[in-house]
Amino acid sequence: MGAEPVIRLRELKKTYVVSEREPGLRAALAGLVHRRKSEVRAVDGISFDLVPGEIVGFLGPNGAGKTTTLKMLSGLLHPTSGELSVLSYVPWKRDPAFLRQITLVMGQRNQLIWDIPPADSFELNRAIYRIPPADYRRTLDELVALLEIEPLLGKPVRNLSLGERMKCEIAAALLHSPAVVFLDEPTIGLDVTMQRRIRTFIAEYSRRHGATVLLTSHYMADVEALCKRVIVIHHGLLLFDGELAALVQRFTADKTIVVQLKDCAADLRAYGEVLSCEDGRTTLRVPKAETARVTGRILAEFPVIDLTVEDPPIEEVIERVFAQGAA
């Protein structure tokens, strides 16, 4: 039926112990001798499967546990408890055969060496991953073409803009044609055009190579463009795992009605929460159940030029999911 899962998590947990100190000179001197500790549950028992070729979005506010989970999946962190397997390997054992099939890209952190051109960092990766020359040439040419980084290859990395650097980072990370790709906030800090280009690249790359992609992001646009399936995490717990559309469905209690009238003179407050009105274009928020009734009444009682019914913006939905999770 379904394919064998390539990533498997069961009740995965990760707890940290941190030391803290109060401000002030007394505490500073006391800190020389003894530090107070407390426990933080970064990941508190999550479970999911990924099948080959999936592109899954991993959403959550800062500190939700996304990066921690990603680090456990790539073998950087030992879980505190639970089951975890990627490509049938136990990640934290860091078997070289496993490491050769995965890759990790972290937004705003570079593996490219700062003072030299990306081409040389690529050579380094070629040696480290023992990529056969023919495969290397082919993959490199494809990545260079898809990412349009030909003119950048000879310039030292420190001379590249943030977006150019990110494109080269991604190329460096994919030279060894990994089966599993972990992307941790890859578009953070980039301008809108660059974000779009990288999204297009990820979609195309995954389509061509069947790589499994797990992507964390703040930007809904990333998730909307790339992921059919989203996993929402907050306070180390899974809040939702399913299709984006279903997420919106489940977590919105409201719909947005946009009514175009001649002007803003009419008072529509009786029909719902008026969010804005400009040149007669009124935006109303209405409970889902009321949508049909309110729409009918407005159409009957006002000279409506145009009327549309929309879902609220996904950012709002996600915020509501987080707020619910926090409660």
Partner 1 sequence: MKGLADLYLQQLKTGVASIVQYRATLVIWLIGNILEPLIYLVVWSTVARSTGGTVGGYGAGDFAAYYIVLMLVNQVTFTWVMYEFDYRIREGTFSADLLHPVHPIHADIAENLSSKAVSLPFIVVAAAGLAAIFHPAFKLSLLAAAAFVPALVLAFLVRFLVDWMVALAAFWTTRVTAINQIHYMAVLFFSGQIAPLTVLPRPLQVVANILPFRWTIGFPVELALGRLTPIQVLTGFAAQAAWLLAAALLLKLAWRVSVKRYSAVGA
Partner 2 sequence: MRFLRLLGVFLRVGVMGEAAYPANFLAHLIDSALELGTALAGLALIFAHTATLGGWRPEELIALVGVYFLVGGVIGLVIQPGMEQLTESVRDGTLDFTLTKPADAQFLVSVWRVEIWKMVDVGLGLVVLGIALARLGERVGLAQAAAFVAALVAGGVIVYSFWLILATTAFWLVRVENVLVIFQSVYEAGRWPVSIYPGWLRFALTFLVPVAFAITVPAQAIAGRLTWPALLGAAGFAAALFAAARLFWRIGVRHYSGASS
DSSP assignment of 206-273 equals HHHH--EEEEE-S-HHHHHHH-SEEEEEETTEEEEEEEHHHHHHHH--EEEEEEE-S-S-S--TTTSE
64 is a site residue for partner 2 (CB under 8 A)? no
Residue 257 vs residues 248, 252, 260, 319: alpha-carbon distances, Å: 16, 14, 10, 20
The secondary structure of residue 313, as a DSSP letter, is P
Part in contact with partner 2 (CB under 8 A); list of ranges 122-130, 133-141, 248-256, 293-301:
122-130
Looking at 44, 52, 89, 116, which residue binds partner 2 (CB under 8 A)? 116
The distance of closest approach from Cβ of residue 62 to partner 2 in the complex, given in angstroms and rounded to an integer, is 15
- Asked whether 132 and 176 are in contact (CB, 8 A), the reply is no
252 binds, among partner 2, partner 1, none (CB under 5 to 8 A by kind): none
Q: How many residues bind partner 2 (CB under 8 A)?
A: 35
246 near partner 1, rule: CB under 8 A:
no
**Shortest separation between residue 165's beta carbon and partner 1, angstroms:** 21
- Evaluate whether 74 touches 104 at the Cβ level (below 8 Å): yes
User: How near is the Cβ of 210 to partner 1 at its closest, in Å?
Assistant: 47
155 binds partner 2 (CB under 8 A): no
| CA–centroid distance for 298 within its chain | 40
- Which of partner 2, partner 1, none sits in contact with 106, Cβ below 5 to 8 A by type? partner 2
d(CA 27, CA 14): 30
* Contacts of partner 1 in 17-36 (CB under 8 A): 25, 28-29, 31-32
C-alpha–C-alpha distance, residues 75 and 73, integer Å: 6
29 touches which of partner 1, partner 2, none (CB within 5 to 8 A by kind)? partner 1
CA 83 to chain centroid: 23
Nearest to 241, CA basis, from 64, 68, 58: 58
Quick note: the x/- pattern for partner 2 over 69-108, rule CB under 8 A, is --x--xxxxx-x-----------x-x-xx-xx-xxx-x--
44 binds partner 2 (CB under 8 A): no
- From the CB of 175, what's the least distance to partner 1, in Å? 34
Binding mask 159-178 for partner 2 (x = CB under 8 A): --------------------
Tokens of 273: 């929460």
In terms of Cβ atoms closer than 10 Å to its own Cβ (0-12, 13-18, 19+), residue 269 is exposed
Nearest to 261 by CA among 283, 289, 234, 240: 283
Residues that bind partner 1 (CB under 8 A): 25, 28-29, 31-32
Residues that bind partner 2 (CB under 8 A): 14, 16, 71, 74-78, 80, 92, 94, 96-97, 99-100, 102-104, 106, 109-111, 113, 115-117, 120-121, 123-124, 127-130, 156
